[in-house]
Structure 1
Amino acid sequence: MVMHDGRVLTVNAKENEDLFWGLPGAGANFGIATRFKFKLTKVARNVLAGDVVRFPKGEGPPIFNSGKTRFELIKQWTGFYATAPDECSALLVLAGQGPVVARIAYIPKEEADCGGDDVEEVTTPTTSSLRGCWGRAEPSSIKLGRAAFQPIMSSATALINTVKPRNYWNGLQKMGQFKSSFYYQKGVNVEGAIPDDVLQKLTDLAKECPVSNDGSAIILMTMGGKLKELRPGDGPSSDVMGRMNWWVLIIAQFPQGAEKPELRQRCIDWVRKTYEVVKPLGFFGSLPKPSKNDNDNGGALHSDEATEYWTTVIGELYGSNWPRLRELKRKYDPENFFSLNRNIKPAEDCA
């Protein structure tokens, strides 16, 4: 790692270990990393994943009606993930007047009995094809995945169900990639459950989205898993990362960009209006707030809006680790050379 004075340091769990602690999440404040060594996590080669598309009660073709209102579908999914295994992951997509889309995945760490073979993709996502595509005993990860999601998979009629065995890299990682376009988005990390009144407001606001396309929606993403094992001192942002339950993203796509300024502004206004509903759920407000002087970025960021934002929340982002990070900054970059970032000023400048 190249430091502000040109020194090159080796940083790991045994050398400069205090700096090693501060790099994940705050590293741009201390130097330039020129070489990395990563520890990979082994996951199953084959996973169960796909989309479940349901029309709410009273919407869409009667034959594909789920029998549940939009709010009931959302409430069921959020309730399921309150106690779901860590291997269960999902995005719940609320897109205007359209159906409710749940993108689910069951991702175990390792596959015990698949023999390392890649799954042959199934073209027809039916229950029979799920069971018969292997030509041999189904891997345990797929069996466990179907069992884990059974409570919500069997609860209502689906218009489309593409859940099937997929190769982790060639299948799961290539699902739902955003195409190049113009987007505006805001998001918030939520601690605890999302209250019913907020879910109802999000349900109503989704219908007000001024555009209808694949890139515009309110997205509820489950957090948890390894994040839940973090303790405040494990890393710079572990104080808050370990408390995340949901990530709520509001995003609008306007392909014409500046060519249609009125539509662009309506998309931005919708995102901001919806964001105000979930903003109070963010966990930053529950953490001790450093003084304004502690968070003064000194104009280091490039936009007034960004500077104002980080002036308010930079200390809250790191929670109880904030004083420790300021001391690290004083030790490794006392003149704040690396300041064009989410800046942590040296402790001596924060008195």
Structure 2
Amino acid sequence: MSTETANSVLGEATIGELEAELRGTVVRPGDASYEEARTIWNAAHDRKPALVVRCAGTADVMRAVEFARSQDLRVAVRGGAHSIAGFSTCDGGIVIDLSAMKGAWVDPVRRRAVAQPGLTWADLDRETQAFGLATPGGLVSTTGIAGFTLGGGLGWLVRRHGLASDNLVAADIVTADGRFVHASADENPDLFWALRGGGGNFGVVTSFEYELHPVGPQVLAGLIFYPLDEAQQVIKGWRDQIAGMPDELTTLVNLTTAPPLPFLPEEVHGTRIVVIAGMHSGSADAAEAAVRPLRTLGTPIADVMGPMPYVAMQSLLDPLWTSGAYNYFTSAFIDASDAAIDAVTQRHLTTPTPASELHLHQLGGAFSRVPADATAFSQRDAGVLCNVVARAPEPTGFEEHAAWAREAREEMARHGNGATYVNFTGDAAEDKVRASYPRGVHDRLVRVKDEYDPTNLFRLNQNIRPSSTR
């Protein structure tokens, strides 16, 4: 028997030899668990890999990389499997699945956490919040920590403590030649610089060491819902306030369709609305004063912003972002001019499905104080990130939905410098990658790629192509 791949035919003896050397498992087409093993969060990418290697530890990762290289296989690396662009799976290649690697070690005295790449933010938050600590995570707790961190990582703590990648203090990585390398500010510093915002281009990260901060367990957070006819008033009022907001408060505007939630009047269910979402991670008194202006931007339909556990806010949006839907996300760093606000509100009127949205993420604060050359993530002057989301439960019409998102992104990009957030580029397109990094940063990333992956083994990502492939 053999397994067909895009590049070769893998004999059963070859696969069996690999399997015998692993603590984890190998899943083949035809195995009872294959359908589950090949499925990822975003149903828009229906791929059929030749093998899924479910790694139990770093030794398994090293062996899987060696095997992929020796067999000339396309490689997909999977952590939380949320990759919007579908990089955590492939046709005819090998998926190096890290989802079983879920170890986490918290040092509350040094305020450090060492985390394996199979963890989601819910997993890591559970460990760190036991000590009243956190590192900046995502807006949806089912997202994996790995790809999120390597691409930057924008969440509710971005203004107080920066991006997830800003809080990465060290990493262990298996490179394309199978070496195990430690990266930090003192050891392999160029690789460490590249890992903080350069995506999964340089190898398979097998552990992340994060700086932790006192956060929670209670925060002031939640949602304020406003009617569509007040959209411009609300967004422009929000824009006028964000420059003076304290770093402890991070907010975003969500132009969405009202879900059938019990605290929303039935007459607004299924209609377009504007939501102000936010979290203040400081003291209760300071938090209430800081969010008070958000409650008077218009006439609220509902105000469900109040004290709650940090982990509750981290998972508040999870029910809206379950797996199995068809998703296309893209983005642009923009200014918050009247023209940009006019454009985004007009685009909101054309969303193709009830689950399609536009988000305006407030930046600034600690995010902006990181020197532009300190990490590969270098869009530090941006004040707002606009995410454009096309999402639907079924494939019918999805290409048209994605086209709407691309068009909206191009329109919004005219109100900024054209740059894209690397985690939300939407497509595996070289022009979008180049738009994510200034030229000097991109050139430096190429030099790091040349050193650690000169043959571009790790190319299923927002790819930094090495010099040899140009």
- Give the alignment's TM-score, normalised by structure 2: 0.53
In structure 2, which of residues 202, 216, 223 is the aligned counterpart of residue 44 of structure 1? 216
The alpha-carbon distance between structure 1 residues 46 and 266, as it changes in their structure 2 partners (threshold 3 A), is same
Contact 2:361 2:385 in 1 (8 A): yes
Q: CA deviation at 1:44?
A: 2.8
Q: CA deviation at 1:273?
A: 3.7
The alpha-carbon distance between structure 1 residues 4 and 88, as it changes in their structure 2 partners (threshold 3 A), is same
The match for 1:281 is 415
Contact 2:219 2:308 in 1 (8 A): yes
Runs of 5+ in structure 1 lacking a partner? 58-68, 109-140, 287-304
Q: CA deviation at 1:27?
A: 5.6
The residue type equivalent to 1:91 in the other structure is L
Matches of 1:315 and 1:252, distance apart in 2: 23
The match for 2:361 is 221
The match for 1:95 is 256
The match for 1:322 is 442
Relative to its length, the structure with more helix (as a share) is 1
The match for 2:302 is 160
RMSD across aligned C-alpha pairs, in angstroms? 2.8
- Map residues 1-351 of structure 1 onto 2, 5 A cutoff: 1-26=173-198, 28-55=200-227, 69-95=230-256, 97-108=271-282, 141-169=283-311, 171-177=312-318, 178-191=321-334, 193-212=335-354, 215-237=355-377, 239-240=378-379, 242-255=380-393, 257-258=394-395, 261-262=396-397, 264=398, 267-284=401-418, 306-307=427-428, 309-310=429-430, 312-319=431-438, 320-347=440-467
Percent sequence identity is 26
Question: 3-state DSSP class of the match of 2:213?
Answer: coil
Q: CA deviation at 1:4?
A: 2.9
The match for 1:289 is none
The alpha-carbon distance between structure 1 residues 348 and 21, as it changes in their structure 2 partners (threshold 3 A), is same
The residue type equivalent to 1:318 in the other structure is Y
Contact 1:187 1:247 in 2 (8 A): no
Q: CA deviation at 1:147?
A: 0.7
Question: 3-state DSSP class of the match of 1:162?
Answer: strand
Deviation by residue 1:193-250 (Cα, 9 ceiling, x = unmatched): 32212322322332233433xx23222221223210121210112x22x123212122
Matches of 2:392 and 2:207, distance apart in 1: 39
The residue type equivalent to 1:196 in the other structure is D
The alpha-carbon distance between structure 1 residues 203 and 331, as it changes in their structure 2 partners (threshold 3 A), is closer
Q: CA deviation at 1:158?
A: 1.8
Deviation by residue 1:79-113 (Cα, 9 ceiling, x = unmatched): 211321222222212236433221121123xxxxx
The residue type equivalent to 1:211 in the other structure is T
The residue type equivalent to 1:174 in the other structure is S
Question: 3-state DSSP class of the match of 1:11?
Answer: strand
Relative to its length, the structure with more strand (as a share) is 2
Contact 1:88 1:104 in 2 (8 A): yes
Aligned length: 277
